[in-house]
Structure 1
Amino acid sequence: MKISSEAIQTLRAQTGAGMMDAKRALEEASGDIQKAIEHLRKAGKKVALTKADRTTHEGRVGEYTHINGKVAGLVAIACETDFVARTDEFIELAHNVAMHVVAMNPSYLDSSLVPQDIIDAEKVVYREQLEREGKPEAIREKIIDGKLRAYYREHCLVSQPFVKDDKKSVDDIVKEHIAKLGENIRIIGFSRLSL
């Protein structure tokens, strides 16, 4: 199937993909732009996995102050080189994640930082709730695992639905930037301040 240059340009404008990547994705998707976008998204996640072990010793602190001046967010995002840290895409990522911190007020960076006593307390509450509801013992643990994942989505920055696109998590947005910028990127800390 011959792919038109207009379709390639449209896909590139929507995704930021390179010309050959966009062409290959459209060929894989038989010219369907939505399928090509999904193909690029999956390819981006694979790229992110291959870069995950690379060290990140550069980066920047992004900030966002809400319009009322009473709430601000800071986020430290690391990357591999100062060249990437100075790009508009990286600066925008840091700003947008700081905005997300202001809007969503996460408690933890990721699930590994949730204290075990908090997890245990949540499990006790969930078990009692399931017992009251009369759920069979055999499925309670699966339900509890699902409820814990929901807890992480609500309280852990990287698991939260991204404030500017709730179909993606903050982690998904970071992985898209890893694929786009070609370097490992990690959020290493955040803070939210309010009056």
Structure 2
Amino acid sequence: MAITASDVNKLRQMTGAGMMDCKKALSEAEGDFDKAIEVLRKQGQKVSAKRADRETSEGAVFVSLFNNDSEGIILGLGCETDFVAKNEGFQSLGNAILAVAVANKVADKDALLAMPLQDGTVESKITELVGTIGEKISIVAYGYEQAEKLASYIHSNGKVGVLVALNKVGSANYETLGKDLGMQIAAMNPIAVDGTGVSEDLKQKELEIGIERARAEGKPENILEKIAQGYVQKFLKENTLLEQPFVKDNKVTIKEFLKQQGGVEVKNFVRASVGE
């Protein structure tokens, strides 16, 4: 298929790769952007996780802890402009949706959209505000968590928030600890707590990318997989919470930092963002 200049430019915005590299990758992927990104990564290029085609580039994150901080809900409500994100109607709707979610301990986004709100449903109230404001509005992130203790963090821009589920808290100051972990997760965007939380499909995909990278570097065929396994371990170290260097003290990992806090465990986390 014909690859247009706008296609190439779009992939450049998505990845930060060079123009000719993007053109070749799109040609090889027959115009499929996700496959083209994989092609670039297999070539050993670092690509950004940013996507230029998201419709809701602004919004706000709302969070609530309840039941003695043993339960929590986080919600990302997206819109198109910062002006709307600060609009009183938008903020009121976000808080109203969050209140419904908390009152009913709603497990997922689909269930939340169907919940009654005022004289309609959550979904119909979002549609009403869209009609009033004239911008796309949608729930772009949602999470409900339970643990011994939960803590939350919302970044100063209001567009990134984190819910952290903690176990074995003991006498630790879980609110301060949770805020530190929330800042870490907001900044570093890990994909899981540790390697056991990463799907085998993703590990296999990273292995295949590593094999192609090693092959492109001219490494012998009989050691490609061994080299690729090293790439996979590096990927897991960089992208799982416990293995990441602590942003407030990069001499220790998060795992080591938690040991210093008396062995507190991170059960899970939910990172909600709008506009990324």
TM-score band, normalised by the shorter chain? 0.5 to 0.7
1:76 maps to what in 2? 165
Cα RMSD (Å) of the superposition?
Answer: 2.1
1:161 maps to what in 2? 245
2:257 maps to what in 1? 173
Please state whether the residue corresponding to 1:130 is helix, strand or coil.
Answer: helix
2:189 maps to what in 1? 105
Specify whether residues 78 and 138 from structure 1 end up closer, same or farther in structure 2 by C-alpha distance, changes over 3 A only: same
Gap runs ≥5 in structure 1 = 1-57, 179-183
Say whether residues 1:64 and 2:64 are aligned partners: no
Superposed, 1:4-153 pairs within 5 Å as: 59-79=148-168, 81=170, 84=171, 87-88=172-173, 90-137=174-221, 139-153=223-237
Structure 2 distance, partners of 1:142, 1:176, is: 34
2:137 maps to what in 1? none
Structure 1 distance, partners of 2:228, 2:251, is: 23
Moved over 4 A (4+): none
Structure 1 distance, partners of 2:240, 2:210, is: 19
- Give the TM-score of the pair, scaled to structure 2: 0.43
How far apart are residue 148 of structure 1 and its match? 1.2
Please state whether the residue corresponding to 1:107 is helix, strand or coil.
Answer: coil
Taking only the aligned residue pairs, the percentage that are identical comes to 34
Q: Which amino acid in structure 1 is aligned with residue 269 of structure 2?
A: F
- Give the TM-score of the pair, scaled to structure 1: 0.59
The structure carrying a bigger strand percent of its residues is 2
Q: Which amino acid in structure 2 is aligned with residue 124 of structure 1?
A: E
How far apart are residue 133 of structure 1 and its match? 1.3
Say whether residues 1:193 and 2:247 are aligned partners: no
Structure 2 distance, partners of 1:191, 1:111, is: 16
Structure 2 distance, partners of 1:140, 1:117, is: 19
Task: Note if contact 1:153-1:161 (Cα within 8 Å) is conserved in structure 2.
Answer: no
Number of aligned residues: 129
How far apart are residue 142 of structure 1 and its match? 3.8
Q: Structure 1, residues 70-125: CA drift from partner, whole Å, max 9, x if none? A: 211110111164xx1xx43x432221001111111111121011111111111111
Gap runs ≥5 in structure 2 = 1-146
- Decide which moves more: 134-143 or 107-116: 134-143
The structure carrying a bigger helix percent of its residues is 1
1:181 maps to what in 2? none
Structure 2 distance, partners of 1:177, 1:80, is: 9
Please state whether the residue corresponding to 2:261 is helix, strand or coil.
Answer: helix
Point out which structure has higher relative CO (alpha carbons under 8 A, 6+ apart).
1
Q: Which amino acid in structure 2 is aligned with residue 176 of structure 1?
A: Q
Please state whether the residue corresponding to 2:232 is helix, strand or coil.
Answer: helix
